Amino acid sequence: MTSADAGAGRGAHAVAPDGPRHTTVQVAAGGCGHGWTHPVAGRQVFDLHNTSGTPAEVRLTDPRTGAVYGEVEGLGPGTTRPLRATLGNGTYAFTCLPADADAVTGPTVRISGDNSVRSGPAAVPVTQQELIPPTLAYQQWIQTRTVELARRTDVLRAAVDRADLAAARAAWLPAHLVYERMGAAYGTFGDADAEINGTTAGLADGVRDPEFAGFHRVEYGLWHGESASSLRGPADRLAEAVHALRRSWPDQRMDPADIGLRAHEILENTVQFALTGRTDYGSGTDLATARANLDGTRALLGRLRPLLRTRTAGPAGIDTWMNRAQHTLDAFDHDGRWTPLARLTRAQREKVNADLGELVERLADVAALTDVRRTA
């Protein structure tokens, strides 16, 4: 019998066809982490088997610091799911968090004597309290943007009022881009978001629907030959919504638990909507929107960065990919006249999609690192 066969016979270890060592680990209030009796360094898989009668979260942690190397959520009773990790020298323990019961940390396991393997990334979970300062700082940044937004929107409305549609088209994009930089706050804006930046999605009559409002309603009219008189109402309605947002924002409160997720969602929405042309109503400025969304992501990350640095060297490659995406998008800005998506070559379109898509994947790590986790 080989050593691998011997381990399998004890029900603790086995070497699967895919290469990594597998260890079956028990998940239960009275047996969290039991089964990991022969720790080794290297890439490996823990087959977490829930022997209890309730769902549970399971984390592989450093018991000294609380840093998490991996986790499985929603492990149902009687089910088994894998947790993959690369472990070097150090101390480890499984923490089981059954639904409606206290957290239980299993026995500490030590790996030593193998300096050839470095442990995979781990991070100490953040608390709601730690997320409050960056959230407040970001809220203040948004407050400043609302003042700028109101000022630029007033310029747009004034141009429409005096029937200078060329000036209105020139004023539309600078005003719209201010709003597009504020993406992490959209959820807090409530109904104001639809009034300021709504689309025709879900509207029975499309661009003719009376509920179609905001920047995109004005955009449609400016680039589809509508008269100044027909645009005064939409421009007034837009400006009123913007000023109402500016007045109400100091009384709003963003949820600190959501702020890391928003850092990922801004550009996720960019890829889903702007880069597919779904939010273009005639101006051909979706690439400018993407660039503004990138600015908004930078603004939020800047406020989260001190918190991230205390837990990790930083999600790998984010700054590199942020700069790469910015360089790619800036190539389509010709003194404020942006290349429309439809005029990109296939190679250009593929590069834009690849750079923004990769950045979105990297930003998912920020959402994971700032996810407020249950601790007891």
Domain 128-191+245-369: give its CATH architecture.
Up-down Bundle (1.20)
301: number of CA atoms within 13 Å, CB side?
23
User: Hey, which of 7-21, 234-248, 360-374 has the most confident mean pLDDT?
Assistant: 234-248
Percent residues over pLDDT 90 in the chain: 84
Does residue 1 surpass a pLDDT of 60?
no
Does residue 37 surpass a pLDDT of 70?
yes
Provide the strand spans (E) within 55-182.
56-61, 68-75, 80-87, 90-98, 104-105, 109-111
Read off the pLDDT of residues 176-186 as tens digits, 9 standing for 90 and up.
999 999 999 99
- Mean residue pLDDT of the chain comes to 92
Contact present, 22 and 16 (Cβ < 8 Å): yes
Does residue 316 surpass a pLDDT of 70?
no
Give this prediction's pTM. 0.86
Question: For position 16, what pLDDT does the model report?
Answer: 56
Read off the pLDDT of residues 271-286 as tens digits, 9 standing for 90 and up.
999 999 999 999 999 9
Question: For position 337, what pLDDT does the model report?
Answer: 96
Ordered by start, the domain boundaries in the chain are 3-111, 128-191+245-369
Contact present, 72 and 60 (Cβ < 8 Å): no
Question: For position 100, what pLDDT does the model report?
Answer: 85
Homologous superfamily of domain range 3-111: Cupredoxins -  blue copper proteins (2.60.40.420)
